[in-house]
């Protein structure tokens, strides 16, 4: 049974909630006038960071990072779940990837004191339940099964377990190069090497490397324009891991094939130069602690502990640690949350009065400064896009670019600088469109793995940006945009599931059986399609999607990511926003229950936010390879945008 609409006396209350959310969001700006946000601390990031720092220290027979390692280990012990596992955030249930990495981290970097020993014992018990036993084969199969064909994250995790000696013990050393240990780093210690790193857990020291698939790092030696044709076993943004982990595995356990071994050996220096060339000046690949840590520890294991990439990576890790000893998954999402903030505020009818002219100008200048003006050295992306961050590790992508285009439109579509930037950004998105009509995240044509394929939420976001700017574009660009819009709409029709929903790429729900978030995906697509002119709309798909959203609303008025999952501010706000936006259109009239669903969602948001005084975050963000995060500003921007959409688009709630 669906919730009843709020009584008329609720009108002032939810408008007051909107005002408080607005005031709270405006107060969250930094000194420069934009938003930085705050990502949740990550057990996975903390684990791999202290492993990388420990291995660097031990390879140099010193303890320069001992305080950081100790602080990180203590944080892991404090935040371990009661069942012995770790999730990606402190609000997440344990998962096999994060628990395995934390187990390895405390094995490598922990101490013999009782708290650490107890945490290790609980972790072993958790992993034994998850994998069936702690044998190397069972552990390797459990990790590999979680990620399927995508080796972007399974191979790094297996590398860590090999470095910790947790995959050793199931084979005896044989003669021949395929089984010879290498004296360098990792858990391998040839006699007299004196590297001080962990030894094997049993059996032959270093035998665990046989469970780490060899990544073909030699392919990174070819021109970047070839990558899309090579069907690499990792996603487009994981090139640093391909190179570093591939080199570590090659050094520790080279192939028996003499020709392949020769090719790999010959490409080592060239691919290391490539790795150095694509490392951002700040040292952090993608501004991401996990990726940077995997690269650092793998280079140590490859015998490159003094390489410049290691030096810059370690500096990034030391700079990124938080006061409580933890690390986030990424430094910030400043560009993303700034565009979310602007676009949410712009839905208010009084948007023009919310910011002083100087504040609007500062936001405009800052956003324009974040647009890439040259080809990106990492992904070889053309100029014109935006990344999620203002920091050097960002990469232009197809969610932040539409967000920035919509924000610039809201800040002043008639501004010449905004129009120039919009033309470049729209052209960038047009060039990114895949052959299937959909929009991928970073690179066109990398369709072998899920995180490189066309995505409904990105495609819908792009549609909104194209539609907002279309009438202001030069004729040639407008014609291209119209044709691309038709292809994108066809992609969305084909991608819609039989029940009417769509599945997003970069957001999920950790409580859902399949970890998917069709509420997020469907809400985003409805908003994208609702922006289209009536002649280009696909009413049947929109109506099915709206009915699905109405039908999956919880009895209390909120929405979770999928039916039967606990509701969150983020998901409820997105559903309310989508239904309110679509509900004002003539083609929505045939869908029953939209008004009641929106009213119930408003009531739920008012109650849960205490009238706009609080907005606790939920981990719905899905980073690469099933890594969850929450962002402090998501509930604020989403809830504000939802209530503003209702206030602006559906005046029936003003009665």
Most confident segment among 187-191, 422-426, 453-457? 422-426
Dump pLDDT digits (tens) for 22-44.
999 999 999 999 999 999 999 99
373 burial level (CB within 10 Å; 0-12, 13-18, 19+): exposed
Q: Please tell me the distance from the alpha carbon of residue 247 to that of residue 34, in angstroms, as a whole number.
A: 41
The DSSP-derived string for 162-210 is HHTTTT-SSS---SSGGG---SSSTT---TT--------SSSSTTGGGG
* pLDDT given for residue 170 in this prediction: 62
* pLDDT given for residue 223 in this prediction: 72
Percent over 90 (pLDDT), the chain:
79
- Structural class in CATH, domain 32-39+332-495: mainly alpha
Dump pLDDT digits (tens) for 323-344.
999 999 999 999 999 999 999 9
The DSSP-derived string for 299-322 is HHHTT-TTSHHHHHHHHHHHHH--
Handedness of CA 624, 628, 631, 635 (dihedral sign): positive
Residue 623 bridge partners (DSSP): 627
- pLDDT surpassing 50 at residue 200: no
This model's pTM is above 0.85: yes
* pLDDT given for residue 211 in this prediction: 94
Percent over 70 (pLDDT), the chain:
88
In the block, which residue shows the tokens 């049947």?
540
Q: Quickly name the fold that domain 1-31+500-650 has.
A: Glycosyltransferase (1.50.10)
In the block, which residue shows the tokens 């729209």?
426
The answer to whether 395 and 440 have CB atoms below 8 angstroms apart is no
The answer to whether 603 and 635 have CB atoms below 8 angstroms apart is no
Of 66-75, 110-119, 487-496, give the lowest mean pLDDT range: 110-119
What average pLDDT score do residues 520-537 get? Answer: 97
Of 67-81, 159-173, 450-464, give the lowest mean pLDDT range: 159-173
- pLDDT surpassing 60 at residue 2: no
* pLDDT given for residue 237 in this prediction: 66
* pLDDT given for residue 539 in this prediction: 97
The answer to whether 404 and 418 have CB atoms below 8 angstroms apart is no
Angle at CA of residue 39, ends 37 and 43, nearest 5°: 170
Cα→Cα distances 550→269, 277, 639, Å: 58, 50, 18
- Higher-confidence position of 425 and 510: 425
Q: Please tell me the distance from the alpha carbon of residue 645 to that of residue 655, in angstroms, as a whole number.
A: 16
- pLDDT surpassing 50 at residue 230: yes
Angle at CA of residue 486, ends 424 and 421, nearest 5°: 10
Domain ranges in the chain with CATH number 1.50.10.20: 1-31+500-650, 32-39+332-495
What average pLDDT score do residues 249-253 get? Answer: 94
The answer to whether 530 and 542 have CB atoms below 8 angstroms apart is yes
* pLDDT given for residue 327 in this prediction: 99
Dump pLDDT digits (tens) for 465-498.
999 999 999 999 999 999 999 999 999 999 999 9
Round the average pLDDT of the chain to a whole number and report it.
90
- pLDDT surpassing 80 at residue 181: no
User: What is the signed CA dihedral for 82, 87, 92, 93, rounded to 10 degrees?
Assistant: -50
- pLDDT surpassing 80 at residue 174: no
Note the helical H segments in 475-628.
475-495, 518-530, 539-551, 569-583, 594-608
Q: Please tell me the distance from the alpha carbon of residue 497 to that of residue 210, in angstroms, as a whole number.
A: 41
Token pair in block for residue 210:
């046989």
DSSP 9: G
* pLDDT given for residue 372 in this prediction: 97
The answer to whether 556 and 603 have CB atoms below 8 angstroms apart is no
The DSSP-derived string for 250-299 is HHHS--S-HHHHHHHHHHHHHHHHHHHHHS-TTS-GGGBHHHHHHHHHHH
User: What is the signed CA dihedral for 427, 484, 473, 35, rounded to 10 degrees?
Assistant: -60
Was domain 41-328 assigned CATH 1.50.10? yes
What average pLDDT score do residues 311-329 get? Answer: 98
Token pair in block for residue 327:
């690390």
In the block, which residue shows the tokens 């009238």?
611
User: What is the signed CA dihedral for 533, 538, 539, 540, rounded to 10 degrees?
Assistant: 180
* pLDDT given for residue 151 in this prediction: 77
* pLDDT given for residue 231 in this prediction: 56
In the block, which residue shows the tokens 């094997």?
200
Dump pLDDT digits (tens) for 92-114.
999 999 999 999 999 999 888 99
Dump pLDDT digits (tens) for 537-548.
999 999 999 999
- Higher-confidence position of 142 and 648: 142
Of 139-148, 243-252, 295-304, 358-367, give the lowest mean pLDDT range: 139-148
In the block, which residue shows the tokens 């069936």?
132
Nearest to 313 by CA among 333, 327, 334: 327
- Higher-confidence position of 177 and 482: 482
pLDDT bucket at 203, cuts 50 / 70 / 90:
very low
- pLDDT surpassing 80 at residue 158: yes
- pLDDT surpassing 60 at residue 86: yes
Phi, psi dihedrals of residue 288, rounded to the nearest 5°: -105, 125
Note the helical H segments in 413-474.
416-432, 456-469
Token pair in block for residue 206:
């270093």
DSSP 327: E
Q: Which residues of 607-643 are buried (b: 16+ CB within 10 A; e: fewer)?
A: ebbebbeebebbbbbbbbbbbbbbbbbbbbbbbbbbb
* pLDDT given for residue 458 in this prediction: 98
What average pLDDT score do residues 147-153 get? Answer: 77
- Higher-confidence position of 382 and 345: 345
Q: Please tell me the distance from the alpha carbon of residue 296 to that of residue 550, in angstroms, as a whole number.
A: 48
Helical packing angle, 416-432 and 357-370, nearest 10°: 30
Angle at CA of residue 404, ends 283 and 632, nearest 5°: 65
- pLDDT surpassing 80 at residue 189: no
SS3 328: strand
pLDDT bucket at 652, cuts 50 / 70 / 90:
very low
User: What is the signed CA dihedral for 591, 592, 598, 601, rounded to 10 degrees?
Assistant: -120
- Higher-confidence position of 448 and 587: 587
- pLDDT surpassing 70 at residue 302: yes
- Higher-confidence position of 177 and 121: 121
Cα→Cα distances 468→174, 281, 575, Å: 66, 35, 21
* pLDDT given for residue 206 in this prediction: 67
What average pLDDT score do residues 55-63 get? Answer: 94
* pLDDT given for residue 9 in this prediction: 37
Q: How many CB atoms lie within 10 A of CB 16?
A: 13
């Amino acid at each position: 049974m669906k919730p009843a609409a709020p009584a008329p006396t609720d009108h002032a209350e939810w408008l007051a909630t909107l005002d408080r959310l607005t005031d709270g969001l405006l107060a969250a700006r930094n000194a420069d006038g934009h938003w930085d946000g705050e990502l949740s601390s990550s057990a996975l990031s903390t684990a791999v960071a202290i492993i990388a720092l420990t291995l660097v220290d031990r390879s140099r027979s010193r303890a320069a990072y001992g305080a950081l390692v100790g602080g990180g280990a203590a944080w892991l012990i404090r935040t371990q779940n009661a069942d012995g596992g770790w999730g990606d955030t402190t609000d997440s249930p344990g998962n096999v990837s994060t628990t395995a990495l934390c187990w390895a981290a405390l094995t490598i970097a922990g101490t013999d004191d009782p708290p650490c020993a107890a945490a290790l014992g609980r972790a072993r018990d958790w992993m034994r339940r998850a994998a069936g036993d702690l044998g190397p084969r069972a552990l390797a199969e459990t990790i590999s099964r979680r990620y399927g064909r995508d080796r972007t994250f399974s191979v790094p995790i297996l590398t860590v377990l090999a470095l910790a000696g947790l995959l050793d013990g199931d084979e005896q050393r044989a003669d021949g190069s395929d089984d010879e240990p290498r004296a360098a780093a990792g858990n391998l210690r040839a006699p007299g090497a004196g590297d001080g790193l962990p030894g094997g857990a049993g059996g032959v020291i270093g035998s665990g490397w046989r469970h780490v698939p060899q990544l073909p790092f030699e392919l990174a030696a070819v021109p970047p324009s070839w990558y899309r044709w090579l069907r690499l076993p990792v996603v487009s943004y994981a090139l640093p891991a391909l190179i570093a982990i591939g080199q570590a595995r090659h050094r520790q356990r080279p192939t028996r094939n003499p020709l392949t071994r020769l090719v790999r050996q010959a490409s080592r220096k060239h691919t290391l130069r490539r790795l150095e060339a694509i490392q951002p000046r700040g040292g952090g690949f993608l501004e991401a602690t996990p990726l940077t840590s995997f690269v650092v520890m793998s280079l140590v294991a490859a015998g490159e502990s003094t390489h410049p990439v290691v030096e810059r990576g370690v500096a990034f890790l030391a700079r990124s640690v938080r006061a409580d000893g933890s690390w986030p998954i990424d430094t910030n999402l400043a560009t993303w949350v700034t565009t979310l903030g602007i676009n949410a505020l712009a839905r208010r009818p009084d948007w023009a009065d919310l910011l002083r002219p100087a504040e609007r100008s500062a936001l405009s200048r800052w956003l324009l400064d974040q647009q890439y003006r040259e080809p990106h050295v990492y992904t070889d992306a053309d100029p014109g896009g935006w990344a999620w961050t203002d920091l050097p590790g960002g990469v232009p992508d197809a969610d932040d670019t539409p967000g920035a285009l919509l924000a610039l439109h809201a800040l002043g579509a008639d501004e010449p600088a905004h129009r120039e930037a919009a033309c470049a950004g729209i052209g960038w998105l047009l060039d990114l469109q895949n052959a299937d009509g959909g929009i991928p995240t970073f690179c066109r044509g990398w369709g072998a793995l899920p995180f490189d394929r066309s995505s409904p939420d990105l495609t819908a976001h792009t549609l909104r940006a194209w539609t907002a700017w279309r009438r202001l574009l030069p004729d040639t660009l407008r014609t291209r945009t119209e044709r691309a819009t038709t292809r994108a709409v066809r992609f969305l029709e084909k991608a819609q599931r039989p029940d009417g929903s769509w599945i997003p790429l970069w957001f999920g729900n950790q409580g859902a059986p399949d970890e998917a978030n069709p509420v997020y995906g469907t809400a985003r697509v409805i908003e994208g399609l609702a922006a289209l002119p009536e002649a280009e709309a696909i009413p049947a798909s929109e109506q099915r999607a709206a009915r699905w959203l109405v039908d999956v609303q919880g009895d209390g008025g909120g929405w979770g990511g999928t039916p039967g999952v606990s509701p969150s501010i983020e998901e409820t706000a997105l559903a309310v926003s989508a239904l309110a936006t679509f509900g004002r259109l003539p083609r929505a009239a045939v869908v029953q229950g939209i008004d009641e669903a929106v009213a119930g969602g408003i009531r739920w948001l008012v109650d849960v936010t205490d009238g706009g005084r609080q907005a606790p975050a939920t981990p719905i963000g899905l980073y690469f390879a099933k890594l969850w995060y929450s962002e402090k500003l998501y509930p604020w921007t989403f809830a504000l945008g939802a209530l503003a959409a209702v206030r602006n688009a559906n005046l029936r709630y003003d009665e």
